[in-house]
Amino acid sequence: MVILQQVINGISIGAVYALIAVGYSLVYSILKFSNFAHGGVMMLGSYFGFLALTILHVPFWLAFPLAIVGAGLLAVANERIAYRPIRIRNSPLLYLMISSLGVSIFLENFTIVTIGPNFRTFPPVLPTTPIMLGTISIGRLDLIILAITAVSLALLTWIIYGSKIGNAIRATSYSMRAASLMGINPDWIVALVFFLAGASAGIGGVLFGIKYTVWPQMGNLTIKAFIAAVVGGLGSLPGAVLGAVILGITETFAAAFVSSAFRDLFSYALMIIIILVRPGGLLGKITEEKA
Amino acid sequence: MRFYGKERRRTKIYIQETIFEEEKNVNPAKLLRFLLVLMILVGQAACASPATPTQAPEAPAAATESPSEPIKIGWFGALSGDQAVWGTAERNGFQLMFEKINAAGGILGRQVEFINYDDKGDQLEAVNVVKRLIKEDKVVAVLGSNSSGRNIAVAPIGEEAHVPIIATYATNPKVTQPTPDTLNQYTFRVCFTDPYQGAVMANFAFNDLKATKAAVLYEISSDYSVGVSDYFKQEWAKLGGELVAAEAFKTGDVEFRAQLTKIKDANPDVIIMPFLYKEVALATKQARDLGITATFIGGDGWPSSELLTMAGEAVEGSYLVDHTDVNMEQVKDWRAEYKARYGMDFEVNAIMAHDAVLVLKAAIEKAGSTDPEKIKIALETMGAVEGYTGSIKIDPKTHNPIGKSAAIIAITDGKFSLFKVVAPMQ
């Protein structure tokens, strides 16, 4: 019984990691760098949802899309301001990563100064009471999160693998230069990818905020999503989802059956082992160095 | 070169302008200020010259002492980050207290200048700002903070510079005594300590709640949390209670279900949660979601009006050990003044700030001087000071206040209310 409960706990954490990990992988697949500002976008996405609900007093069905679009546009602006100038100059990829770290610190401090350092709690918009099956508890919220995650990931998969725009995105991710010779405007594709990544971060941020709480440092948690993306294979969408679920269950089991104090040790050890044994990640094909 | 030339011309013009300005406004006030600065410089030189080179660097505060200059008192604490709620309440409490003291004529007839810095709840940052307070601002004493970890980190700075640091809310024994046999000569505190807090929790759970099986959930990366849970476990074993589970998490975690599922399986009567309100809100909510019905017992990291909004129903029926009752009758006026001045919720930290100021003021007055060394001796030798949290007499052997009581606070109907006051233990 305990094991079953722990598996449920693990999957419920994995679902949130998955949404954020997908954003990392999307950006990585195009620009080949780890966008550490992704956590900041997720955090602000969560704040957008929170502020729409508490200040604009709009209903949740409107606040949620507002937060998603807001986070998407924020990610696009982020790319326009902090990455595009570096990209155009053909500077080393390391510069993009450094720039993303800077943006992440900027977003966190900007939020502290403008919105405030306190923890905020979402108004009760989704049911949080659990369903009890004997001694096993399944959170209603977790089920909703799982459903929303599944739908968003399916939609994202369709956009990338099933639509014409997705063709362009995949072409650009193979070779930006060749794609641009075929009449694809890489700047547009990059902006679109950032929008999709930001929107998925917005979904993750709002769900995360409802499940836990909203605060300026919540972006730091995306380091876990980063591990998930690396485990699954940076640049691979199904890999990011797989990595997230594996990470969620590993963490939960480490805490439950070894020691809760060692939990993070297991997460990072998992990442290092994957990098050593299968540098491309479980489902990744790329074998260049991960930054 | 071309650039250099331009720059130079600009400087020249600037200099000419300033000279012109100077000539135009030779007024008596400016002249007086100039003379004053000259006098201070000459005075300093006179003081400094006979000193032997061996005793040179420290204690410049005493040398420049003059009745017209304000007494500089420093503070460090969290104005941003996780602990900003408490840090802000504490800073506000100090500020209001010093404003009142200044309006009433100051300390030793001198006004107080309150210099406060944000340490962001970070140990490294705390070390930086305390260094700045002592070395650059040359404060006579440092107040703060609300965290054991940060006070442990900054204690060596006070030791080195011989400037007293008075902790308001840092309860770990290592703050004043790095080991049981050593003492930080310049660190003091006005709050009770963790061994006492842990013992109060154990006794309350065992005697008042008649619990026999306890579980502990603690934050492994916090000196405070590990300390309290260890002292709880010691006292709990002494009382004959059974410890059925002890689970840890890391600072910044938001997911506790793995640990809580284990705790649920052990079926405890009470769960001890000695950590800060954000994690408390999440952990208690998740515990109730998992169907855990045990009573939660917390420590002085709980009291915050934010806990009630964040955790809501989940903390209903819980108990916590605190320094004092935030709603007690004696602090009514202080609370009203605080609310009128800042328009925000009153936290226990403002009460601790009040008491810390009374202790420091009494020490400066007893010393009759603002020499940090003399303040330190006065803190060790002076009599009890009556504060809101009881009478505070610093034990010269431990630098902890002697005989402080604790309050058990119950959370009922979404409010903190006093359950009982626990007498000091020996």
Instruction: Give A-chain residues touching B258 at CB under 8 angstroms.
Output: 6, 9-10, 251-253, 255-256, 260, 263
Per-residue pLDDT band at A259 (split at 50, 70, 90): confident
CB B250 to CB A263 under 8 A? yes
pLDDT at B67: 67
- Predicted local confidence at residue B29, as pLDDT: 57
Asked if B85 and A118 come within 8 Å (Cβ–Cβ), the reply is: yes
Instruction: Pick the residue of B289, B307, B308 with the most A CBs within 10 A to test the interface with A by mutation.
Output: B289
What is the per-residue pLDDT for B40? 54
Which pair of tokens denotes residue B255? 């997911």
As a whole number of angstroms, the distance between CA A208 and CA A43 comes to 9
CA-nearest residue of chain A to B307?
A119
For residue A185, what are its two tokens?
Answer: 């405007």
What is the mean pLDDT of the segment spanning A250-275? Answer: 87
Residue among B84, B248, B290 whose CB faces A118 most closely: B84
Confirm or reject contact between A250 and chain B (CB < 8 A).
Answer: no
Q: In this model, does residue B19 exceed pLDDT 70? A: no
Would you say residue B15 has pLDDT above 70? no
Ordered DSSP codes for B235-270: HHHHHT-EEEEEEEE-TT----HHHHHHHHHH--SE
- pLDDT digit string (tens) for B180-206? 899 999 999 999 999 999 999 999 999
pLDDT in tens, B85-140: 889 999 999 999 999 999 999 999 999 999 999 998 889 999 999 999 999 999 99
How far, in Å, CA of B359 to CA of B394, rounded? 9
Chain A residues in contact with B279 (beta carbon < 8 A): none
**Residues 6 or more apart in contact with residue A230 via CB below 8 angstroms:** A243, A271, A274, A275, A281, A290
Distances (CA, A) of B333 to A68, B339, B346, B356: 47, 10, 12, 18
Q: How many CB atoms lie within 10 A of CB B101?
A: 18
> Quick one: average pLDDT of B155-177?
94
| More reliable by pLDDT, B208 or B37 | B208
- Give the separation between CA B146 and CA B88, rounded to whole angstroms: 11
Which pLDDT belongs to residue B423?
Answer: 80
Integer Cα distance of B249 and B256 in angstroms: 8
Contact A259 B306 (CB under 8 A): no
Q: Per residue in A76-98, pLDDT tens?
A: 999 999 999 998 888 888 899 99
Report the percent of chain B where pLDDT is more than 90.
60
Task: Kindly report the average pLDDT of chain B as a whole number.
Answer: 84
Nearest to B118 by CA among B106, B129, B127: B129
Contact B257 A132 (CB under 8 A): no
| Band of residue B38 on the pLDDT scale cut at 50, 70, 90 | low
Whether B283 contacts chain A with CB within 8 A: no
Grade residue B398 by pLDDT with cuts at 50, 70 and 90: very high
Residue B211 exposed, middle or buried by CB count within 10 Å (0-12, 13-18, 19+) = buried
Please check whether residue B226 is in contact with residue B255, taking contact to mean a CB–CB distance below 8 angstroms.
Answer: no
- Give the residue-averaged pLDDT of B299-328: 89
What pLDDT does A31 receive? 84
Spatial separation of the C-alpha atoms in residues B297 and B318, rounded to whole Å: 6
Helix (H) or strand (E) holding B219: strand B213-219
Cis before A163? omega within 30: no
Give the residue from A28, A36, A139 showing the smallest Cα distance to B257: A139
Give the containing element (helix H, strand E) for B331: none
- Give the nearest partner residue to A117 out of B81, B247, B282, using CB atoms: B81
pLDDT tops 60 at residue A235: yes
Q: Give the lowest-confidence range in A13-27, B19-33, B65-79, B262-276.
A: B19-33
Best interface-test mutation with B: which of A5, A215, A253 has the largest number of B CBs within 10 A? Answer: A5
Please tell me whether the interface predicted TM-score (ipTM) of this complex is above 0.85. no
B176: tokens are 């004043």
Tell me which of A124 and B30 has the higher pLDDT. A124
Starting at the earlier edge strand, list the strands of the sheet with B385-387: B385-387, B390-394, B401-402
Q: What's the average model confidence in pLDDT over B42-51?
A: 42
Least confident of A59-63, A250-254, A260-264: A260-264
Partners of residue B142 on adjacent β-strands: B74, B165
Is residue A291 predicted with pLDDT exceeding 80?
no
Q: Is A9 on the interface with B (CB under 8 A)?
A: yes
Cβ-defined contact of B278 to A251 (cutoff 8 Å): no
Instruction: Give Cβ neighbours of residue A14 (< 8 Å, ≥ 6 apart).
Output: A228, A244, A245, A246, A247, A248, A249
Pick from A224-233, B265-274, B336-345 the range whose average pLDDT is largest.
B265-274
What tokens appear for B95 in the block? Answer: 């500020």
State mean pLDDT over B301-307: 85
Q: Are A5 and A65 in contact (CB under 8 A)?
A: no
Residue-wise DSSP of B48-106: HTTS-GGG-SS-HHHHT--TTSPEEEEEEE-SSSTTHHHHHHHHHHHHHHHHHHHHTT-
* Band of residue B23 on the pLDDT scale cut at 50, 70, 90: very low
B57 pLDDT more than 60: no
Task: Pick A137's closest partner by Cβ from B291, B309, B310.
Answer: B291
Q: Cβ contacts (< 8 Å) between A258 and chain B: which residues?
A: none
Among B81, B252, B282, select the one facing A213 at the smallest CB separation.
Answer: B282
Mutation site, B257, B265, B286, B305, interface A, largest A CB count within 10 A: B257
Q: With 60 as the cut, is the pLDDT of residue B14 above it?
A: no
Residue with tokens 């006794």: B203
The arithmetic mean of pLDDT across residues A184-197, rounded, is: 92
Position B35 confidence tier, pLDDT thresholds 50, 70, 90: low
Q: What is the mean pLDDT of residues A12-31?
A: 87
Specify the higher pLDDT residue, A256 or A82: A82
Q: How far is CA B175 from CA A48, A156, A270, B148, B151, in A?
A: 41, 53, 37, 6, 6
pTM: predicted TM-score of the whole model, two decimal places: 0.77
Q: How far is A259 from chain B (nearest CA, A)?
A: 8
**For the range A283-286, what are the long-range contacts, defined as Cβ-Cβ under 8 Å and sequence gap of 24 or more?**
A283/A232, A283/A233, A283/A236, A283/A238, A283/A239, A283/A242, A284/A232, A284/A233, A284/A234, A284/A235, A284/A236, A284/A239, A285/A233, A285/A235, A285/A236, A286/A233, A286/A234, A286/A235
Is B282 in CB contact (< 8 Å) with chain A? yes
Q: Which amino acid is at A116?
A: G
Token pair for residue B37?
A: 């600065």
CB A21 within 8 A of CB A229: yes
CB-nearest to A2 from B248, B261, B281 is: B261
CA-to-CA distance for A151 and B201, rounded, in angstroms? 48
Per the prediction, chain A carries an average pLDDT of: 88
Interface-testing mutation among A122, A138, A212, A265, with chain B (most B C-beta atoms within 10 A): A212
The average pLDDT across A21-36 equals 87
Res. B13: pLDDT tops 60: no
Report residue A93 CA to chain centroid gap: 21
Q: Which of B35, B144, B157, B151 is nearest to B94 (CA)?
A: B144
By the 8 A CB rule, do B141 and B166 touch?
A: yes
Enumerate the β-bridge partners of residue B73.
B114, B141
Whole-angstrom distance between the N-terminal and C-terminal Cα of chain B?
78
User: Does residue B243 sit at the A interface (CB-CB below 8 Å)?
Assistant: no
Q: Which of B209-223, B302-316, B408-422 is least confident?
A: B302-316
- By Cβ distance, the residue of A6, A130, A264 closest to B258 is A6
Q: What is the pLDDT of residue B218?
A: 95
Which positions in chain A touch B252 (Cβ < 8 Å)? 217, 220-221
Provide DSSP, A57-81. ---HHHHHHHHHHHHHHHHHHHIII
CB A261 within 8 A of CB A56: no
Measured between alpha carbons, how far is residue B130 from residues B127, B137, B138, B262, B264 in Å?
A: 5, 10, 10, 42, 44
Sheet holding B415-422, edge to edge: B242-249, B213-219, B270-273, B295-298, B319-322, B406-412, B415-422
Specify the pLDDT at position A91: 85
Q: Which helix (H) or strand (E) holds B221?
A: none
Rounded to the nearest angstrom, the minimum Cα separation between B332 and chain A is 26
Q: How many CB pairs under 8 A join A and B?
A: 87
Residue A112 in contact with partner chain B when CB distance is under 8 A: yes
Work out whether the CA dihedral A117, A118, A119, A124 comes out positive or negative. Answer: negative
Q: Give the number of other Cβ atoms within 10 Å of residue A100's Cβ.
A: 25
Q: What is the pLDDT of residue B53?
A: 38
Q: How far, in Å, CA of A226 to CA of A217, rounded?
A: 16
The more confidently predicted of residues B10 and B177 is B177
